[in-house]
């Protein structure tokens, strides 16, 4: 029988899950849950029923894994523990500093409910984290570097939109070639924020707005832009819609390390993602994690897990024999 | 107490393990076992005792994990099952086609002995295999590509040395830029062996040898060179020793896949290794796997495993709490 998936929250991530389920023949999308009036939510595939989140408890026994597609700021800290009492769950909680407390709350709830919860899936946290772990375990004498981009930062784009006179905006984070090259050469540089990434902004200003003031407000904005070299382009709404409507992202996790009797040999491990759609790729990771959560549950495991705890084979639809014969 | 490591076989891989143990404060090198007369084997650190392989059974209870550094052709098919009855073991068995039968033999022996055996560790099989698994689980609709090099192929170098009139030789496998670029562009090309890799050979010929004949024999050698574009350089022994004494290697595992309602978004996952020393990097992976084997044994697990079966956290010296707080 297929793994029955439920989606909580139908935004970019939820839509990504809906698409990804169709690529995985061992899974079925059983239901989508929303806080909006269900009749106002239009799925890509209209055959899947949409319910209000209040109906979720009625689906115990009808859904195997619930994928929580809410935000990390306020949704997931409440939703993940609450639903881990009722189902196996997967989330993409990405507030790095609060992961330990989220883990503890979810672990208590999942253990109480007898379920498996996999938190902080996606690519960072997620695949990038995994690659930091593997590379660090292999090369203990080394340095880690994470570069993000080229890609759209939603938080930085939002920050620009809040400036007076800004109609719309999109911000790209771009790794700097000089920094990347130094790391790939094994130079183990110490890099400031400014040396690692460039910030490029495409801004639609109101007709009567003072563009010089807007540009200055962007470039001096503390936390978001002040520590970076920032390039600001003013363009029309048509240009923004035409050229900047995608949500690409990606980046690299690199570890540069040494081995040998006196560290005479250098090694470089690089994991690189180039993603046309940040939310769809994240959804694809969440769905693989849902398969693992289901299988861990079948084995009698309980409590909160991260990608660090999941035997990789459990993420794949292939059997252990197929994996060894074809991928090892 | 530290994990007590034993090494069986003291060649390039064994020396790599000896160096790597010093980078891992939770491990101690307890003993090295050799088929040669022990007094003829000089370790980098003379404080570690060297014994003959016949003494291995006497070390039950004194060694936690035995790392088997023999060859895949004849050593490991016998050694890994034999020693898995007595200890947790790790090997780098790399004859891809025979992995299923090796797994079965080792699984039976390890289960009987109540131990954990991790086979086929290293980078390919090993880290490359893991990346094929992860990437395929995330992007089911996609294509896998593995490129090797630039690096020294020991088997191809040996094949050249067997040609009459050849004194010494070194062969490099080099990924072709055009092929790599097509893959990274998401073109999903179908590539022949010739299109993926170039073979470059540095050959020392005997003074009276017919270089044209040697070059022709190399370029037409079935299985090894006939299916590739091969470049042959004749150089002196001094040049070979000076410029080609290292054992570098590396390569890339790339998955190019699509997501979305109609596969409208492309994604690229690339894992790349650039290694100054192939055996030392392999040793470093084996040692991380030894840590995992030991911990799996402590948890009561038994039988044969591969990197596919190992929860990543078990490879790292950091605690689960430290991993979540610092790497997730």
User: Residue B46 has what pLDDT?
Assistant: 81
User: DSSP E strands: which ranges in chain A?
Assistant: 3-8, 27-34, 50-52, 65-68, 88-91, 116-118, 142-148, 151-152, 166-175, 197-205, 229-234, 249-259, 265-275, 303-305
Report d(CA B97, CA B72) in Å as an integer: 11
Cβ-defined contact of A275 to B267 (cutoff 8 Å): yes
The answer to whether residues A147 and A179 touch, using CB atoms and an 8 Å cutoff, is: yes
Picking from A261, A11, A307, the residue whose alpha carbon sits closest to that of residue B316 is A307
Instruction: Among B134, B265, B324, select the one facing A306 at the smallest CB separation.
Output: B324
Which residue does chain A place closest to B321, by CA atoms? Answer: A100
Report d(CA A73, CA A82) in Å as an integer: 16
Cβ-defined contact of A269 to B273 (cutoff 8 Å): yes
Cβ-defined contact of A134 to B129 (cutoff 8 Å): no
One DSSP character per residue, B264-286 reads -EEEEEEEEEEESBHHHHHHHHH
Cβ-defined contact of B327 to A103 (cutoff 8 Å): no
Q: What is the pLDDT of residues A129-176, one digit of tens each?
A: 999 999 999 999 999 999 999 999 999 999 999 999 999 999 999 999
Picking from B57, B62, B52, the residue whose alpha carbon sits closest to that of residue B82 is B57
User: Residue B71 has what pLDDT?
Assistant: 94
One DSSP character per residue, A17-72 reads HHHHHTT-TTEEEEEEEESS-GGG---SSTTS-EEEGGGGGGGBTTBSEEEE-S-T
Backbone angles phi, psi at B4, to 5 degrees: -90, 115
User: Residue B140 has what pLDDT?
Assistant: 98
Q: Provide the CB-side half-sphere exposure for A265 (13 A, CA).
A: 23
Cβ-defined contact of A24 to B310 (cutoff 8 Å): no
User: Residue B231 has what pLDDT?
Assistant: 98
Residue A46, pLDDT > 90, answer: no
Instruction: Among A20, A125, A328, select the one facing B125 at the smallest CB separation.
Output: A328
ipTM of the complex in this document? 0.96
Q: Which of A259, A295, A305, A306 to mutate to test the interface with B (most CBs of B within 10 A)?
A: A259
Collapsing DSSP to helix, strand or coil, A100 comes out as: helix
Number of residues assigned to chain B: 328
Tokens of A236: 């029309």
Cβ-defined contact of B120 to A328 (cutoff 8 Å): yes
CA A134 to chain centre: 19
Size of interface A-B (CB pairs under 8 A): 213
Q: What angle do CA B174, B180, B181 make, to 5 degrees?
A: 135
Instruction: Among B270, B312, B320, select the one facing A134 at the smallest CB separation.
Output: B312
Task: Return the percent helix, strand and coil in chain B, to nearest 5.
Answer: 40, 30, 30
Number of residues assigned to chain A: 328
Which residue does chain B place closest to A134, by CA atoms? Answer: B312
Backbone angles phi, psi at A295, to 5 degrees: -65, -40
User: Residue B45 has what pLDDT?
Assistant: 85
State the pTM of this model: 0.97
Cβ-defined contact of B260 to A316 (cutoff 8 Å): no
Q: Tens digit of pLDDT per residue, chain B (328 long)?
A: 899 999 999 999 999 999 999 999 999 999 999 999 999 999 998 889 999 999 999 999 999 999 999 999 999 999 999 999 999 999 999 999 999 999 999 999 999 999 999 999 999 999 999 999 999 999 999 999 999 999 999 999 999 999 999 999 999 999 999 999 999 999 999 999 999 999 999 999 999 999 999 999 999 999 999 999 999 999 999 999 999 999 999 999 999 999 999 999 999 999 999 999 999 999 999 999 999 999 999 999 999 999 999 999 999 999 999 999 999 9
Cβ neighbours of A327 in B, within 8 Å? 129, 132-133, 136, 308
Instruction: Among A129, A275, A309, select the one facing B327 at the smallest CB separation.
Output: A129
Report d(CA B212, CA B288) in Å as an integer: 47
């Amino acid at each position: 029988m297929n793994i029955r998936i439920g989606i909580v929250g139908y935004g970019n991530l939820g839509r990504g899950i809906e698409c990804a389920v169709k690529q995985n023949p061992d899974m079925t999308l059983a239901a989508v849950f929303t806080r909006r009036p269900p009749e106002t939510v239009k799925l890509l595939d209209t055959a899947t029923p949409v319910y209000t989140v209040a109906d979720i408890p009625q689906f115990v026994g009808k859904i195997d894994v619930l994928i929580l597609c809410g935000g990390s700021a306020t949704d997931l800290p409440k939703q993940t523990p609450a639903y881990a009492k009722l189902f196996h769950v997967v989330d993409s909680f990405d507030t790095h500093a609060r992961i330990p407390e989220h883990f503890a709350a979810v672990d208590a709830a999942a253990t109480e409910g007898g379920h498996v919860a996999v938190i902080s899936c996606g690519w960072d946290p997620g695949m990038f984290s995994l690659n930091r772990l593997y590379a660090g375990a292999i090369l203990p004498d080394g340095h880690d570097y994470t570069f993000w981009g080229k890609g759209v930062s939603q938080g930085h784009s939002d920050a620009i939109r809040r400036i007076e006179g800004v109609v719309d905006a999109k911000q790209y984070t771009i790794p700097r070639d000089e920094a990347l090259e130094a790391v790939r050469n094994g130079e183990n540089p110490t890099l400031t924020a400014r040396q690692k990434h460039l910030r490029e902004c495409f801004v639609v200003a109101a007709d009567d707005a003072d563009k010089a003031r807007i540009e200055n407000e962007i470039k001096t904005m503390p936390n978001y832009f002040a520590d970076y070299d920032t390039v600001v382009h003013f363009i029309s709404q048509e240009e923004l819609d035409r050229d900047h409507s995608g949500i690409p992202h990606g980046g690299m996790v690199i570890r540069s390390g040494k081995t040998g009797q006196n560290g005479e040999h250098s090694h470089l491990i690089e994991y690189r993602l180039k993603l046309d759609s940040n939310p769809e790729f994240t959804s694809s990771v969440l769905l693989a994690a849902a398969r693992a959560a289901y299988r861990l549950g079948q084995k009698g495991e309980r409590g909160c897990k991260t990608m660090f705890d999941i035997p990789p084979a459990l993420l794949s639809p292939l059997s252990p024999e197929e994996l060894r014969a074809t991928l090892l």
